[in-house]
Amino acid sequence: MLDLFASGELSPVGALAECERAFDESLGVWAAMCLDRAREEARAAEALWAAGTPSGPLCGVPIAIKDLIDTADVETTAGSLMLAGRVPDRDAEVVRRVRAAGAIVIGKTRTHEFAWGNMTPPVRNPWALDRVPSGSSGGSGAAVAAGLCAAAMGSDTGGSIRMPAAACGVVGLKATFGRVSRDGIVPHSWSLDHAGPLTRSVGDAAILLNVLAGYDPADPACRDEPVPDYRATLERPLDGLRLGVCRNHFFEDNQDDVQRAVETAIDDLAGQGATVVDALIVKTTQS
């Protein structure tokens, strides 16, 4: 999308209009929307691109935010009636960063109550309306898959970015703990919570992580370490990469077509130079 903005083949106004045209109420994705503000920001971003002065690496990109993540002037309820009407007075750090990079927040995506569970009602999977998008970032995963936004923010404690990414056929990134600030995100488990993007491609995820990563003193777990350019390694060969495969836990109930797809992906990565290592998960019982 950014390349299209730069070439003039697409504008931020046009990109937002495409997202609006893709809107499908039956998906149940949105917890709240802020389209009037988004349209105004898209017009401003279009003028900046026309002048050759984009405001940042996400200038004019329409992004959705999980309803667990605070947004100034937009209701944030964490999917709970207990927090209905709660409007934060400031953005979460990850929202502040994407806005500072020029992104346009178009709405809040649904999560189930306080992110507990893995289904995200009433959101439907855009690939099959009789199926769930998983969770708890299911609204974000479905929104990206359906073209309602270019990318979305989610959070992950035990799979809440990764599972919707898998169910909806998009890219979900759970970065190393401490790499992305969680300030302004309703907590689930302080020692396990992560914030991260859901996108349409690995390249887009790298662009988002370049913006999101970095030290924030407001999050005690956030690491004060340099942030590399994640895009620089996108074309790096897989030689030397060790790929752990946990067959004795995650493969036990796979359907045949899922199993074939996973094995094909493993073989493809091995064919590109990765070393496949079987990892054993030891299950313990308590007396």
Catalytic residues: 66, 136, 160
CB 123 within 8 A of CB 28: yes
Cα 257 to Cα 244: distance, rounded to the nearest angstrom: 21
Strand partners, 168: none
Is 23 exposed, middle or buried (CB count within 10 Å of its CB: 0-12, 13-18, 19+)? Answer: middle
Question: 191 to each of 29, 188, 214, 223, 283, how far by Cα in Å?
Answer: 28, 9, 18, 14, 22
- How many alpha carbons fall within 13 Å on the CB side of residue 28? 16
Question: 52 to each of 2, 42, 268, how far by Cα in Å?
Answer: 13, 15, 41
Cα 53 to chain centroid, rounded? 27
